Amino acid sequence: MGAALPAALLPGTATLGVLGGGQLGRMFVHAAQALGYRCIVLDPDAISPAGAVAEQHIQAGYLDSLGLARLARDCDAITTEFENVPAVALQTLAGMRVVAPAAASVAVCQDRAVEKAHFEAAGVPCAPHAVITSDVELAAVNPALLPGILKTSRMGYDGKGQVRVRTVAELATAWSDLKRVPCVLEQLLPLKAELSVLVARGADGQLVNYPVQQNLHRDGILAVTEVPAPDVPADVAAQAVAAARQVAQALNYVGVLCVEFFWLDDGRLVVNEMAPRPHNSGHWTMNGANVSQFELQVRALAGLPLPMPRQHSASVMLNLLGDLWFPPAGGPTTPAWSQVLALPGTHLHLYGKSEARPGRKMGHLNITAETPEAAHAVALQAAALLGLPGDF
């Protein structure tokens, strides 16, 4: 028999800790506080979106032994709000407190090569690829993988650490430009759409999921999510959900996990990557479902029951970057929130960041409606008011 599960941390009786002070941590804290938990955030910055709303903010680095000791002393369970927190920090904390997701799960998500090996071991197909860590592996790359995308194995997100390459010579140059760090070369595949599935799994093995989400990226950053996925037939959606659940189960994962997919022109579905945390593409759940992805993260961490999510409203999510505060014509300005919020079914979520910068995630706008067509129409109106492209 396995070890007994720890008793659930009941609302109103416990303190939850978060490594990371970004917007995902902020929304986790809000969800935890709504259930009656106290929250402590550990983040190296003096001012952070999550630290500003938590009951306590420990300003310390993620490998600061004193800071980690304080967090463990004052919290009953601890999570992370982003995947690049050092896995060793989670491992250290796990020796003192309940930690979810586990360091081993986060470590898989931190390395593209390890991540792809996990997908294959779980029986979920991913894009043809090659791992490059040496000149020998570079020389051995199958030219059939070109054209492709060279991605750093670690620390790549929102399109960073990625270079498109068409030839063997371009591949060699790109690897040199990336400082010859370990990389993964992925074959460039013709895409019909990009999809994602959010799952949540408890320590008791309970596993629930949201519907398939259809995503549009611009410059490597998620721009629009629509749910129900407008172009996805039921059999493809079922395949994506089954694959995401399989990935989580194979990891023995605890927490909220987002699995991203490429739906190819030939009808195949291949897994792209995963994130061991709530995800931009799940922000619609804050207004379009009976339980948000952040509440599920709280529940999984605290050992509470996980209800199967139910979408009650067709939803569109628009990602709001700092570019909105710097229109092409004129000086810095405040976006037209009054006009946007006059539209039916609009829900604005700003992250409390002190300064808008181009490319910086400042917030998101959820649009909910009775039908997908109505949500889409309002989303197009909102995009026009904000100066966003209407290419969705």
Mean pLDDT of all residues belonging to the chain: 95
User: How far apart are alpha carbons 315 and 379 in whole angstroms?
Assistant: 9
pLDDT category, 159, cuts 50, 70, 90?
low
CATH code, 128-187? 3.30.1490.20
Quick count: other Cβ atoms within 10 Å of Cβ 10?
Answer: 13
Q: Quick one: CATH architecture of 191-386?
A: 2-Layer Sandwich (3.30)
State pLDDT tens for residues 346-366. Answer: 999 999 998 999 999 999 999
State pLDDT tens for residues 246-296. Answer: 999 999 999 999 999 999 999 999 999 999 999 999 999 999 999 999 999
Annotated binding site: 112, 151, 156-162, 186-189, 194, 217, 272-273
Tell whether domain 15-99 is in CATH 3.40.50.20. yes
- DSSP output for 36-47: T-EEEEEESSSS
Annotated binding site for ATP: 112, 151, 156-162, 186-189, 194, 217, 272-273
Residue 1: its pLDDT value, please? 45
Mean pLDDT within 195-219? 97
Which runs of E-coded beta strand occur in 133-212?
A: 148-152, 162-165, 183-187, 191-201, 207-209
User: How far apart are alpha carbons 138 and 145 in whole angstroms?
Assistant: 12
State pLDDT tens for residues 15-73. Answer: 999 999 999 999 999 999 999 999 999 999 999 999 999 999 999 999 999 999 999 99
CA atoms within 13 A on the CB side of 190: 3
- Residue spans of the domains in the chain: they are 15-99, 128-187, 191-386
> What pairing do the DSSP bridges indicate for beta strands 98-99 and 162-165?
unpaired
| Secondary structure of residue 215 in the 3-state scheme | strand
Residue 158: its pLDDT value, please? 57
User: How far apart are alpha carbons 224 and 171 in whole angstroms?
Assistant: 31
Give percent above pLDDT 90 in the chain. 91
Judged against a pLDDT cut of 90, whether residue 244 lies above it is answered with: yes
**CB under 8 Å to 188, separation ≥6 — which residues?**
147, 148, 149, 164
Residue 156: its pLDDT value, please? 64
User: How far apart are alpha carbons 90 and 79 in whole angstroms?
Assistant: 8
In the 8-state DSSP scheme, what is residue 228? Answer: S
- DSSP output for 88-149: HHHHHHHTTSEESS-HHHHHHHT-HHHHHHHHHHTT--B--EEEESSHHHHHT--GGG-SEE
Mean pLDDT within 126-149? 92
| Secondary structure of residue 79 in the 3-state scheme | strand
Beta bridge partners of 368: 315
- DSSP output for 235-293: HHHHHHHHHHHHHHHHHT--EEEEEEEEEETTS-EEEEEEESS--GGGTTHHHHBSS-H
Mean pLDDT within 360-386? 98
Beta bridge partners of 347: 366
In the 8-state DSSP scheme, what is residue 347? Answer: E
